Structure 1
Amino acid sequence: MTTRAVIVHGTGGHPDVIWYPWLADRLAARGWTVSRPHFPELNVTPVAEFLPSALERMAIDADTVLIGHSGGAALLLAVLEAIEVRVPQAVLVAGYATPPNASPEPVLRASYDWERIAAHVDDLVLINSVTDPYGCDWRQGMAIRDRVGGTLVVRDDGHFGDAGQPYDEFPLLDRLIAR
């Protein structure tokens, strides 16, 4: 039975903004242990340098559901490639695997071992939008899904929260997380 969740914020984000605390409270009410690590170095430090400390702070085991938003979702691709366990579910919200815009993206790897990523997750859910202002749109979700499998959910909800888009609750995400 899944009892743990790790929620990873996006680039320049914080674990106490948008829907992250709301989702943590929802999962905790189900009896889950939830962590929301703060990664100020996310998408600042190259992923190869940052990943070992991120993995240590996440303490992932076979009962952990991984949830990432934007740069946090991109980080979870590297995490799934690196871990030695199979997690029951990973949910990538506004995730991407290639540069979504002209900004530097040190969170991305030059290439991924897609088979290894697929081997480390039972249920991959991708939630992307047709109107993502940063380019983390449905095309990015489809490209990941085409390589790894999983379920792609396409909405018309911008970036699912950031400084210019309040998104304090995310009921769809709560419904999609393994129970």
Structure 2
Amino acid sequence: MKAIIFHGTGGNPEVAWYPWLAERLRKRGYDVEVPHYPGLNVEPIAAFLPGVLAAHEFGEHTVVVGHSGGAALLLALLEHVKVDRAYLVAGYCTRPNESEEPVLQESYDWDAIRSNVREIYFINSAKDPYGCDADQGRTMFDRLGGTQIVRNDGHFGDYNQDYDEFPLLDRLIG
């Protein structure tokens, strides 16, 4: 199995729970990638996505994890590639606040996304400081099905929210 963990806007592979989860998955035999994409949610998704598609191999034994802007990236990505499972943490598919969101597409091919992922999980908080909340998770769930999990864990890691481990996500991935 392979896992690719996509950081959020302004993030990098060394923050939050990404290194912890990567190590946990490696110990279970996963080949893990945690790429650094400084252009995430800076460059328009139409220009950004081809580089991501070219940089990784995806397949029926691939698990993808995205946090915040990285979860929004997964929606665009899943229109083009097949994976086993996708985990969208603090994800969103519409503007969650007043900030520009170049990672978002104007619309999504929900049927293509649904057919390209065997299982999809949305993990959001009831309240999120950036608006990536349970309502956003519900919007994606309503279009794609899958499993929605609502916690009370803020943004699941941020500059002012330490979140160095994510046992729930580790258990879900298995």
Q: Does 1:94 align with 2:103?
A: no
User: Residue 18 of structure 1 contacts residue 169 of structure 1 at CA under 8 Å; is this kept in 2?
Assistant: yes
| 1:61 Cα deviation from its structure 2 partner | 1.9
Contact 1:37 1:57 in 2 (8 A): no
Alignment TM-score, normalising by the size of structure 1: 0.96
Letter in 1 for 2:126: V
* Match of residue 51, structure 1, among 49, 63, 81: 49
Percentage of matched positions with identical amino acids: 60
CA distance in 2 between counterparts of 1:56 and 1:129 reads 32
8 A Cα contact 1:12 1:40, kept in partner = yes
Q: Are 1:150 and 2:146 an aligned pair?
A: yes
* 1:160 matched to 2:160: no
For 1:91 and 1:99, locate their aligned partners in 2 and report how far apart those are by CA, in whole Å: 19
Displacement over 6 Å in runs of 4+: none
TM-score when scaled to structure 2? 0.98
1: distance between equivalents of 2:145 and 2:56? 24
1:105 aligned onto 2:104: no
Question: Residue 97 of structure 1 aligns to which amino acid in structure 2?
Answer: C
Give 1:171's aligned amino acid.
P
Aligned residues: 174
2:59–2:84 Cα contact (<8 Å) kept: no
1:89-116 deviation per Cα after TM superposition (whole angstroms, max 9, x unaligned): 0000000000000000000000001000
Unaligned runs of 5+ in 1: none
Q: CA deviation at 1:131?
A: 1.7
**Letter of the 1:52 counterpart:** P
1:115-157: CA deviation from partner (whole Å, max 9, x where unpaired) = 0000000100000001200000000000000000000000000
Structure 2 residue aligned with 1:77 = 75
> What are the ranges of 5 or more consecutive residues in structure 2 without an aligned counterpart?
none
Partner residue in 2 for 1:62: 60
